[in-house]
Amino acid sequence: MQKSNMPLTFTVRRRETKLIKPAEPTPIEMKPLSDLDTQEALWVQAPMIQIYRDDIKMRNINPATVIRKALAKLLVLYYPFAGRIREGPGRKLEVDCSGQGVLFIEAEADVRVEQFGETVLPPFPCLEELIYDVPGSSGMVDSPLLLIQVTRLLCGGFIIIIRINHIMCDAQGMSQFITALGEMTRGAAIPSILPVWQRELLLPRNPPRVTYTHHEYDQVPITNTICLNTNMVSKAFFFGPTEISILRNHLPTHLKRCTPFELVSAVVWRCRSIAIQPDPEDILRIIFPVNGRYKFKPYIPKGYYGNCVAVPAALSTAKDLFSKPLGHALELVLKAKSCVTEDYIRSTIDLMVLRGRPNITSVNSYFLTDLTQARFNDIDFGWGKAVYGGPAVEDVFSRIGNLYLPYTSKKGEFGAVIPMCLPKPTMERFVKELDNLLIMDANQALHTSKL
């Protein structure tokens, strides 16, 4: 489904920003962060958006009031969020658990949920109004670790955006915290999953040693830059059982047992690469986060909300990606994913120490993030499941990467959707390549953009 060319605009009226502190006294201490937490790529503020419709049972309840009260109670358990990050020698980071508090904004907007369209997906209009960047709040160090804005809508629904310092947690950790906030808002005394800090589990080895080749951190010189910032259009692509079945038909027998995400990763990487028309000799990457919690023996404890993700990269020349069958791209994806073991993650941690926490390479890289297991859509504050739950990504992210989100089509088919933003000619080439893979018979193509 293509978003309308007429941008949705609305006015947001905000009340005074409040500083919410834990409802009870909490430990005053310094908590060190892990070397996975402090890598360069995570020095960002990550806004997570949850959109809810009106519920007749909640008509007389102000969502901002109940969420604010629940937040103060939850911060007793998640008290590091009420502190501030401090930077020490060698860019080592730790949390000063000072109980200073987090920022909270109540707002109203003259817009209804229905105006966001039948398919509520990023990018979202007026994002800067739905999460006000309070002056002095957007730094990584010495700034509040949470900024929350609850915006009530004309229809009785509301939008909550929780901007989280990514140094503190990964997507699973964010989902765990927001789910806990929903449970506390609905009256729970404690959340169903208690938070676990234990960042010492991800300390570097002694001595640190890089035991794998980490192409995701290659230092690549910038050569010809592909322009992906003009005449942008947005479309969303649904991959349900029918689409996955058709795509599997392009694979040799030994690859057919791959997961839907692995298959779609290869498909989208190949089609998008063809669409952006790189130089045939360019080295192209696809990078995808892999949850590392279950790669350890024993597993990282349930409730751990720090960053515990590896980001392996699959590499191919553009020429090979274009000319070889789909199975070539898929085999590269599977090989990169299979490398993620406990030793691979520990090698990543050691690399951070030995090489000064390098950033993930973005040159000729495509990022695809699987959020189907994070279950942001299921988070309930008392108004039922979210119309949309997950990252509030902006157009700028869509130029280098996309989200793979759980989605149920109008036909009731459960699958995943990838919202994508590309220049119009590039998008047209991408759709053509994807449709060529999804041809059902000689005369009929399945257009996945029709959700």
Q: How far is CA 106 from the centre of its chain?
A: 25
The confidence score (pLDDT) of residue 397 equals 58
Bridge pairing between strands 365-370 and 102-109: unpaired
Q: How far is CA 388 from the centre of its chain?
A: 13
Domain ranges of the chain: 12-199, 218-437
The confidence score (pLDDT) of residue 14 equals 96
Q: Each residue of 168-206: pLDDT tens digit?
A: 999 999 999 999 999 999 999 999 999 999 999 999 999
Q: What is the helix (H) or strand (E) element at residue 351, kind and residue range? A: helix 342-354
The confidence score (pLDDT) of residue 220 equals 81
Measured CA to CA, the distance from residue 159 to residue 78 in angstroms comes to: 23
State the average pLDDT over residues 380-398: 84
Bridge pairing between strands 93-97 and 84-87: antiparallel
**SS3 for 201?**
helix
**SS3 for 145?**
coil
All residues at 6 or more sequence positions from 238 whose CB lies less than 8 Å from its CB, including other chains: 407, 409, 415, 416, 417, 448, 449, 450, 451
Rg of the Cα atoms in the chain = 22
All residues at 6 or more sequence positions from 357 whose CB lies less than 8 Å from its CB, including other chains: 35, 38, 39, 40, 91
Greatest Cα-to-Cα distance within the chain, rounded to the nearest angstrom:
69
Bridge partner list, 233? 422
Q: Each residue of 427-448: pLDDT tens digit?
A: 999 999 999 999 854 344 444 4
The confidence score (pLDDT) of residue 441 equals 42
Q: Is 63:160 a contact under the CB 8 Å cutoff?
A: yes
State the average pLDDT over residues 18-42: 96
Token output for 191: 């959340």
Residue 141: is its pLDDT beyond 80? yes
Residue 422: is its pLDDT beyond 80? yes
All residues at 6 or more sequence positions from 348 whose CB lies less than 8 Å from its CB, including other chains: 36, 212, 214, 310
Measured CA to CA, the distance from residue 214 to residue 398 in angstroms comes to: 24
At 228, is the pLDDT very low, low, confident or very high (cuts 50, 70, 90)? Answer: low
Q: Each residue of 331-379: pLDDT tens digit?
A: 999 999 999 999 999 999 999 999 989 999 989 999 999 999 999 999 9
Measured CA to CA, the distance from residue 68 to residue 71 in angstroms comes to: 5
Q: What percent of the chain has pLDDT over 90?
A: 83
Q: What is the helix (H) or strand (E) element at residue 292, kind and residue range? A: none
Asked if the bond preceding 298 is cis, omega within 30° of 0, the reply is yes
Residue in the structure block whose two tokens are 């980001």 = 311
Comparing 12-199 with 218-437, is the CATH topology the same?
Answer: yes
Active site amino acids: 166, 380
Q: Which residue type, as a one-letter code, is found at position 347? A: S
All residues at 6 or more sequence positions from 199 whose CB lies less than 8 Å from its CB, including other chains: 31, 32, 33, 34, 37, 306
The DSSP symbol for 308 reads -
What one-character-per-residue DSSP string does 65-80 give?
HHHHHHHHHHHHHSGG
CATH 3.40.640.10 fits 218-437, yes or no: no
3.30.559.10, 3.20.20.10, 3.40.50.360, 3.30.450.20: CATH of 12-199: 3.30.559.10
At 449, is the pLDDT very low, low, confident or very high (cuts 50, 70, 90)? Answer: very low
On the CB side of 381, how many CA atoms lie within 13 Å of its CA? 31
Residue 146: is its pLDDT beyond 60? yes
